[in-house]
Amino acid sequence: MAGGQLPRRIIKETSRLMSEPAPGISAHPSEDNLRYFNVMILGPQQSPYEGGIFKLELFLPEDYPMAAPKVRFLTKIYHPNIDKLGRICLDILKDKWSPALQIRTVLISIQALLSAPNPDDPLAENVARHWKDNEAEAVATAKEWTRMYASQ
């Protein structure tokens, strides 16, 4: 295996991400590790995260695209499918991953998850319970966290 050589697929995905970014999403590889991306996702309109700028990190493991990218929020967020460490519960990052998916699809799915929290498949149990017991109050907390942690 040639040391340091980046697979063509990753090069193509990266250049397309930069030249045609998806709305509300940016992803840039870091200078010293082209498999490691700094990601920003804008909180979707009409979601509790609207107005927030969320930082994430994404890493393409050695066996990508046979294995899913690894993604984590760096900005604190109050969401039933995202835990205290920023880990994300999303099927396509786990058993529903397919090599036909891309970095772009993953990030768009995460953005969609912000618009549609799913407390029935929780990662953060307390947050999910809050969401089910009193959705209005949970949404208010999510908005508050967006103001506190995700505003520039």
Partner 1 sequence: MANSGASVVVPRNFRLLEELEKGEKGIGDGTVSYGMEDGDDMLMRNWTGTIIGPQNTVHDGRIYTLKMSCGQMYPEQAPKVRFQTRINMSCVAADGTVDPRHFHTLGHWSREKTMETILIDVRKEMQQSHNRKLPQPPEGTRYS
> Given the rule CB under 8 A, which residues bind partner 1?
1-5, 30, 33, 35-36, 57, 59, 61-62, 70, 72, 74, 76, 84-87
In the set 39, 41, 89, 150, the catalytic residue is: 89
Closest CB to partner 1 among residues 30, 134 = 30
Closest CB to partner 1 among residues 20, 95 = 95
| Residues 6+ positions from 54 with CB-CB distance below 8 Å | 40, 41, 42, 43, 73, 75, 77, 114, 150
Residue 9, token pair as written in the block = 């697929």
Crossing angle (nearest 10°) for helices 125-133 and 135-149: 130
Closest distance between partner 1 and the C-beta of residue 10, in Å?
11
Q: Which of 23, 46, 47, 51 is nearest to 150 (CA)?
A: 51
Active site residue 89: yes
Closest distance between partner 1 and the C-beta of residue 32, in Å?
8
Closest distance between partner 1 and the C-beta of residue 121, in Å?
19
Closest CB to partner 1 among residues 33, 45 = 33
Q: How far apart are CA 140 and CA 74, in angstroms?
A: 21
Q: How far apart are CA 152 and CA 100, in angstroms?
A: 35
Residue 150, token pair as written in the block = 């995700």
Residues involved in catalysis: 89
